[in-house]
Structure formats: C-alpha cells, structure tokens
Amino acid sequence: MPGIGPVRCARLLARFGSPEAVLAAPRPALDELGLPADSVAGLGNPPWATVEQDLLWLERPGNSLLCLDDPRYPPLLREIPTPPPVLFVRGDPALLGRPQLAVVGTRNPTPAGRRTAREFAAHLAGAGLVITSGLALGIDAEAHRGALQTGQTVAVMGTGPDRLYPARHRDLARHIAERGALVSELPPGTPPNAENFPRRNRVISGLSLGTLVVEAATQSGSLISARLAGEQGREVFAIPGSIHNPMARGCHALIRQGAKLVETGADILEELGPLAATVTTPDPPPVIKPATPTDLDPEYRALLALLGEAPCAVDTLVERSGLTAEAVSSMLLIMELQGYVASAGGFYTRLINEDT
C-alpha cells in the first residue's frame, strides 16, 4: 500500500485488530488515524493482482511467509519498535528463532578484515550461533562463508526475495538458501532501492542477540546496524585494529561509545552467557601462520618487511624506504600479482611474512 510501512501497519492493527478489519474499515475511521489520502484510497482498493504474484512465489518449494501472529515469527524481532508485518523466507524459517549473532562491516575490507570475519563466523557458528548478515560485499559475504563452513547463516536482503543484490553473490545466496535462510520484509519484485537497506539493517540487528562490527570506516553503514542494536537493547561488539587502518576507526569509535572490545570468539560467548543457552564453547581454532617468501629479491623482501602488520599507504612506504614513488608502486604491483600483498582503499597489507 502506498505510504503504509511497519509503523502505520502496527497502528492500523492496534486500532482495528486484524488485516481483514483494516480492509473493511470505513473511510472516516481511516481518516481519523491521519493517514495520507493515497494510503486511504489504497486500503479501499487493494492491489489484489500483486498479492496473487506474492502467493505464486509462496507456492514454490522452500518458500515461506511469516506474519506477526505466526508462531514461527522470530520472537526477538517481534520485540523491536517496528517489526516487519511479514517476512518472506527462502530456506529454513525455524532458524529465525534460534540464537543469532549479527556480523557486519565495510564493503571494502582489508585482507586481514576478510580473514577475521570469516574465522570469527566459522568459530561462532561452530559453537551453535546462527550468523546473520546482509549479503553485501566485503565483511557480510565473508561472515556468511565462514558460517557455512561449520554451521548455519541467515542473510537479510534489501530486495524482494526473488531479487538478488549484488548479482555476483548468486552462488552464495543459493548455498545460504540450501543450508540456512534468506529473509526479506519486501515483497517479490522489489528492486535494490537505497532506502531499503537501512530498513534491512534494523532487521539484522533485531533478529540477533548482539551485533559484531569487524571493520568499518567512520561513515560506514555498519555503524547504523550497531546503533540500531543498541537502541533495541542488544549487545554491541567491535574488533579493534591498527590506528593506521582507516577501516578500524569506526570500530574504535564504537568502543569509545561503550561497545565491548572483542579479541576472540570466547569474548562474545562469555558476554552473551545465558542469552544463548544452546550455544557451546568450542575449542579455539588453530592459528595458521602465513607462509614465508623464498623467491623474492632482497629489495622486495626489504619492502615487504617495511609494510609491518597494519595497512600502509604508498606515501608511507616511500618515506620508510627512501625509494621513489614509482619504484615502490611497481614493486607493490608485482608482489600483489605474486600473492605477497593485497590492496584495499589505497592501502597495502602484507599477506606473507618477510622472514625466512
């Protein structure tokens, strides 16, 4: 309906008691609620052809629709101020009622951030938590992939359940639907409009006992999820990083604001405690040390050593090495092609130790 979102839908249901009663309500009673004229007109002439398309989607194997009064509707999500009136689900709807942890972060993570998201998700999913994220590029995707290695995951979409964004995650979405669940409050056919994603973020945090931010710039959309989690009375966790890493600044800001600093998955499990009664504490994952280079020339190995452990800009490497910017850029390109370093956002990160 035009102009009818979760807030107005909740107001209508509170006033009239059921969807049937809302649709049967006389116009003067609707006008008393201060609804826009196009909303009142829409309620008087519902788009039944669109509803039929939704019902056709529902008939396909693996698809479910959960209304607010459905016993399968996730109880934590029902508690937030603006719960979605309906949830379109591809996969197992029972997962939505299990203890969940949201894992979110930047779409442009460092290689270390990708690895951290994947390893934390795998560790916590193995402990019994369902890992919930938004199917976006970067940290979201790594969290889903890590969870699928050891457990299950839920992806909350900013499109209709029959649309996929970004398209490159088609295979990932298929695996999630097979072993977890894809969830959307938006009806089939809804495209990836910008205004849909803040709505999606409140569902991610609303489904979860807490939200873990892995990497985020100061203006990252992931901070919206963290803020919403705090407003919903849920736990907020953040992983610290180097002061030289711009992708760590959002996490540092959250920690200054009271988010819990996290170094291991055990920190999260300990904090959630009885909130996640079915979750166990697994053995810590093995620490895998990166390989060491054996085929680099000495000057390349020296530059690799100057990278250190934190992301580093080309200008900083020029200053440290005394080489020209052209020489440093050329060497970094070669080492990136050979798999020794990775770049993200203009910063370079070492993937392999320089020591023999």
CB-based contacts of 61: which residues, under 8 Å, 6+ apart?
none
Listed in sequence order, the DSSP H helices in 260-322 are: 265-272, 298-307, 314-321
Each residue's pLDDT, cut to its tens digit, for the chain (356 residues) gives 888 888 899 889 989 999 999 999 998 898 888 888 999 999 988 989 989 999 999 999 999 999 988 999 999 999 998 899 999 999 999 999 999 999 999 999 988 899 999 999 999 999 999 999 999 999 999 999 999 999 999 999 999 999 999 999 999 999 999 999 999 999 999 999 988 998 999 999 999 999 999 999 888 888 888 999 999 999 999 999 888 888 889 999 999 999 999 999 999 999 987 666 555 444 444 443 444 455 678 888 888 888 876 778 888 888 888 888 888 888 888 888 777 888 766 778 887 654 43
Residues 200 and 247 in one domain: yes
Residues 38 and 179 in one domain: no
| CATH code of residue 143 | 3.40.50.450
Number of domains comprising the chain: 3
Say if 63 falls within a structural domain: no
- 3-state SS assignment for residue 167: helix
- 3-state SS assignment for residue 349: strand
Residues 105 and 186 in one domain: yes
Residues 156 and 214 in one domain: yes
| CATH code of residue 320 | 1.10.10.10
Residue-level pLDDT at 339: 79
- Domain limits at 341? 298-350
Residues 114 and 195 in one domain: yes
**Domain end marker among 276, 308, 331:** 276
CB-based contacts of 58: which residues, under 8 Å, 6+ apart?
64, 65
Say if 213 falls within a structural domain: yes
Peptide bond into 166 cis (omega under 30): yes
pTM: 0.79
Residues 212 and 132 in one domain: yes
Are the CB atoms for 281 and 127 separated by under 8 Å? yes
Residue-level pLDDT at 355: 47
